[in-house]
Amino acid sequence: MLTEGNIKRLVAKLTQLRGAALKLGQFMSIQDSHVLPPEVEDIFRRVQDSAHYMPDWQMEEVLRSSLGPSWQDNFETFDRLPFAAASIGQVHSAVLAAGASPTGKPAKVAVKIQFPNIANSIETDLGYVKMLLTAGRLLPRGLFLDRTIQVMKAELADECDYSREAGFARRFAEPGSLGNDRRFKVPWVWDGSTERVLVMEHVDGVSVGGSVINSLSQADRNHIATCIIDLCLKELFAFRLMQTDPNWTNFLWNQRTRQIELVDFGATREYSREFMDNWMHLLQAAASDDRDACVAWSLELGYLTGEENEVMLDAHVKSMALLATPFKAGTHQPMSFGPGSQWADITAQIRAQIPVMLQHRLTPPPRETYSLNRKLSGAFLLAARLGAEVDCKTLWDKAVEGYQFSDRTPS
């Protein structure tokens, strides 16, 4: 099945599906986890590198139906050639007219326009992707593909609502969130944005994972990685509101303002107090190498059923303990994430547990952890890409000290 010719045809077909295929590639190849067979990872990597733009007439149709037939009156200029494409839309540069701008004067903006019919085609497209993936029986049973697709279907539906994304961007910009944190910049959202067209303040930073890395000092690399890992912990344990897409194009470094600019809130998820209490307990147990507590809180969360064999329990507990290594009291700080570092060794050990868990796992992971783990592992991976050194224990201690539990013990 996986000849070069067939792979090219499969990539071409999946690329036509846009949202579903691109998102599944991001979703299942969870950064550097090596869960998928190399051939399947290669297919998704090619799909993500082959994002298409919609033709001009189609873009015009979306703008007219969303903003009205006189949509151009809101803009002084509008670049009809997009500068970026994502899984469900494309992005254009424009300048809001003074009368429409929240600043009262012309303002540079980024206009995200959703591909037509993405929301209506999610279920059909995911069914097609599932058929392609299961036809060759290439995926391990322990991936629980049905659950993965269920979770992804719900997440994609959420991300197709740009009004939802606008609301989360505004929440992150509030003083109680990141509004007073000078390390970050959250762009303002234009009030005229709709479910299918999102207009946000243009920012000038460059992707923290791109070629800019070569021009950064070690101090800047350490600073950026520290901010992003700290943001992860704040999102989880202070806000219970996390932007869960770790793609480094969502984090822009502005050398002039020395801020990290956050530009995509579509994959934002909220977590309940009960879930986050349990997950904090689990991470504390893992960081303390407390096997019994790690198993107890894993049962509470639904990682385990209670019927697992010792091989599965050992692999699960070990993987959690490895994930929590940056936060352990005995870990040398600042922790190095570069090539040949302790983190590189940890990721290799985590990978070694994956085949065991895929073989012996009895239940899929909790629904909330799909996105949560993707972001946390992505933050560590970004630190590794930056070759950064981060005092993770200090960040962890600050998160734990500020957390208020709801007085519960595992049932």
Tell me which residues are annotated as active site. Answer: 245
Dihedral over Cα of 87, 93, 99, 104: its sign? positive
Q: Are 242 and 375 in contact (CB under 8 A)?
A: yes
The single-letter code of the amino acid at 402 is G
